[in-house]
Amino acid sequence: METNNNIDRLLAMLDHPERYSEQEIMDTVNHDDETREFYRSLTQAARARSSQRSLSQPVDVDKAWEQFEQTHLAVQKHGHLWQRVAAAVLGVLMMSGIAWATVYTVRHFTATDQSKQTTEKVATPSQTEADAVGPRLGVADTSTVENEAPVVFDNTPLEQMLNEIAAYYGMTVEFQNEDVRNLRFHFVWNKGDGLEKVLEDMSHFESVTIEQTDNRLIVQ
């Protein structure tokens, strides 16, 4: 009797399952073995009915494949589309990177060339300057060389010799004895030597006496 009441309750629940909690449904179904078996029979009967109805409704396989293609293969194509988009984006990024690198490299080298040119331009004046200075330095070098390499006066008139030496040391020459102007001498002049040393060497000349007073060399 209680089982029948429970089964009635179960059938009422099937009409309006939303009115009952899940716990109430489970309690009713599992109330006793008979009710549980009754529910299982209901599920089997429902399946049997579905099976019979299914057999009476032949499946249109072509239509089913068409639907499958539309849904799932479209999704796959969509996926491929995304892959293509991603590949395109990556490609664009790569090309942008290459372009940027090219621009950067070109700019870098251009800047380097310009700086080189500037350096060269800067260098040019200095070279010009150096060129301008060069002769002097060359002279200086030459003089240095000359300082090192003694000047040999061979059979040279005393006047010419003294003028050259006096000019070098910033002196003037004054001859008190005019007769010695054209006397020729052999003399080796070391420009590195001081004026005193040179005058001392020249004092060995016979009949010539050279005195130094202020900026003048007086030949007696």
- Tell me whether strands 172-175 and 151-157 are parallel, antiparallel or unpaired: unpaired
Q: Is 188 helix (H, G, I), strand (E, B) or coil?
A: strand
Residue 59: CB minimum distance to other proteins, A: 5
Distances (CA, A) of 134 to 5, 142, 147: 129, 11, 18
Residue 88: CB minimum distance to other proteins, A: 24
Main-chain dihedrals φ then ψ at residue 168, nearest 5 degrees: -65, -40
Residue 82: CB minimum distance to other proteins, A: 15
* Interacting residue ranges for other proteins, rule: CB under 8 A: 13-14, 17-18, 20, 22, 25-26, 29, 39-40, 42-55, 57, 59, 64, 67-68, 71-73, 75-76
Residue 78: CB minimum distance to other proteins, A: 13
Residue 66: CB minimum distance to other proteins, A: 11
Residue 1: CB minimum distance to other proteins, A: 24
Q: Which is nearer to other proteins, 47 or 108 (CB)?
A: 47
Q: Which is nearer to other proteins, 35 or 202 (CB)?
A: 35
Q: Which is nearer to other proteins, 51 or 115 (CB)?
A: 51
Q: Which is nearer to other proteins, 30 or 102 (CB)?
A: 30
For the chain, strand residue ranges (E) read 151-157, 172-175, 184-189, 210-213, 216-219
Q: Is 182 helix (H, G, I), strand (E, B) or coil?
A: coil
Q: Which is nearer to other proteins, 48 or 137 (CB)?
A: 48
CA distance 110 to 80: 44
| 51 token code pair | 């099976």
Amino acid identity, residue 162? L
CA distance 212 to 193: 16
Neighbours of 162 (CB within 10 A): 26
CB 35 within 8 A of CB 29: yes
Q: Which is nearer to other proteins, 76 or 176 (CB)?
A: 76
CB 177 within 8 A of CB 220: yes
